[in-house]
């Protein structure tokens, strides 16, 4: 894990969440696909229905015709500890960090035994002090989403977490699926960096643009939902990037990081650019052949490439000057052509 700090590289997290729809094979297929994109981490969600919810939990979106209740849906999303361990091994084999958000203390205990690279705190857990404390006591990095919290609540949680040794990044997040541009809140990436140190974006827009903007603003973490196809089943598909879009996002973030790491001084341009100046800049050039002693008029002159003679900027300064030598048409004037 890129440990959160103000100067850390941006960790790109591809969130599978529930896109596997309870299929272990599909979960593994996501890992294989994400491994081709250059992303740093795969993130799942670990739900243990009986520990997390009451049977009467309402649907956020009633999307599943095969589940009578949301509780039934969470039940169908469960994997065994052995299956979770297999997903982690697969991530490691593919060079990916394994993350999963726990939504209960038993889910934390399961993941703690298996091992995660960091703790991703879902937006709904930001006030779950018992769960937060168990995460914080491990000393692992913590990534705190803030999708449903005002600043006072975030401040309170961050201040309390500062009492532990876990590195912390605070992520701007808006709990809309998908989230339109008017609710992204990209300004809060800057606010959180100033207020808390390491910061980032957990994005639900279904586009690459907020992640790229966050990278420009210095985000240390960018998290996006992913889908294998826009035609897949599930409530998060409209808020997700395809594998191809994730690849472009990662490429864009790395490009942006390289740009930011190499500020350019306009008074010390690269040699490659300096070499182009004579080719693209223009010089003062004669429109016609002129004899020695000619007092130059504007009609005698024009500007043309290359920029190896008197610069075009000095055009007006040549008016009224006398030629020392006879010059042909299309002659690039130099100081040696003029009388003192």
Angle 209-216/243-261 helices, nearest 10 degrees? 20
Identify the pLDDT of residue 281. Answer: 97
Tokens matching residue 124:
């709904």
Sign for the pseudo-dihedral over CA of 110, 112, 117, 123: positive
Q: Taking 90 as the threshold, does the pLDDT of residue 58 lie above it? A: no
What pLDDT sits at residue 72?
84
* pLDDT per residue as tens digits for the range 235-248: 889 999 999 999 99
List all residues 6 or more positions away from 39 whose beta carbon is below 8 Å from its beta carbon: 12, 13, 14, 96, 246, 250
Rounded to whole angstroms, the Cα distance separating 119 from 271 reads 46
What is the structure's pLDDT at 49?
Answer: 86
- pLDDT tens figures, 182-194: 999 999 999 999 9
pLDDT digits (tens, 9 = 90+) for 165-184: 999 999 999 999 999 999 99
φ and ψ of 111, to 5 deg: -70, -35
Sole residue written with tokens 């594998």: 243
Residue 39 has pLDDT above 70, yes or no: yes
> With pLDDT > 70 as the criterion, what percentage of the chain qualifies?
97
* Burial class of residue 112 (count of CB atoms within 10 Å of its CB; 0-12, 13-18, 19+): middle
| Global confidence as pTM | 0.88
Residue 201 DSSP label: E
Nearest alpha-carbon partner for 102 in 22, 46, 41: 46
Q: If we measure between CA atoms, which residue out of 253, 244, 251, 250 comes closest to residue 214?
A: 253
């Amino acid at each position: 894990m890129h440990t959160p700090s103000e100067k850390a590289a941006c960790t790109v997290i591809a969130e599978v969440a529930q896109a596997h729809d309870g299929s272990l094979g599909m979960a593994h297929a996501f890992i294989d696909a994400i491994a081709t994109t250059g992303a740093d981490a795969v993130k799942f969600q670990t739900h243990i229905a009986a520990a997390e919810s009451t049977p009467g939990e309402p649907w956020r979106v009633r999307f599943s015709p095969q589940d009578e209740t949301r509780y039934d849906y969470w039940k169908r999303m469960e994997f065994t500890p052995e299956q979770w361990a297999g997903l982690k091994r697969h991530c490691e084999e593919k060079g990916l960090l394994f993350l999963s958000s726990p939504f209960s203390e038993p889910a934390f205990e399961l993941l703690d035994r298996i091992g995660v690279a960091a703790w991703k705190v879902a937006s709904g857990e930001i006030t779950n002090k018992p769960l937060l404390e168990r995460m914080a006591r491990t000393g692992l990095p913590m990534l705190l989403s803030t999708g449903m919290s005002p600043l006072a609540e975030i401040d309170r949680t961050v201040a309390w977490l500062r009492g532990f040794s876990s590195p912390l990044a605070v992520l701007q997040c808006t709990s809309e699926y998908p989230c339109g541009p008017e609710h992204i809140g990209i300004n809060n990436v800057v606010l959180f960096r100033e207020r808390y140190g390491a910061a980032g974006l957990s994005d639900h827009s279904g586009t690459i643009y907020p992640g790229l903007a966050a990278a420009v603003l210095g985000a240390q973490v960018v998290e996006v939902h992913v889908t294998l196809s826009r035609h897949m089943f599930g409530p998060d598909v409209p808020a997700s990037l395809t594998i191809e879009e994730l690849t472009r996002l990662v490429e864009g973030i790395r490009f942006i990081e390289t740009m930011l790491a190499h500020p350019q001084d306009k008074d010390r341009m690269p040699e490659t650019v300096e070499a182009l100046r004579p080719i693209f800049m223009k010089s003062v050039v004669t429109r016609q052949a002129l004899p020695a002693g000619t007092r130059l008029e504007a009609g005698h002159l024009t500007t043309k490439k290359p920029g190896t003679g008197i610069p075009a900027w000095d055009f007006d300064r040549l008016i009224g000057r006398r030629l020392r030598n006879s010059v042909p048409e299309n002659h690039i004037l130099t100081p040696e052509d003029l009388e003192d």
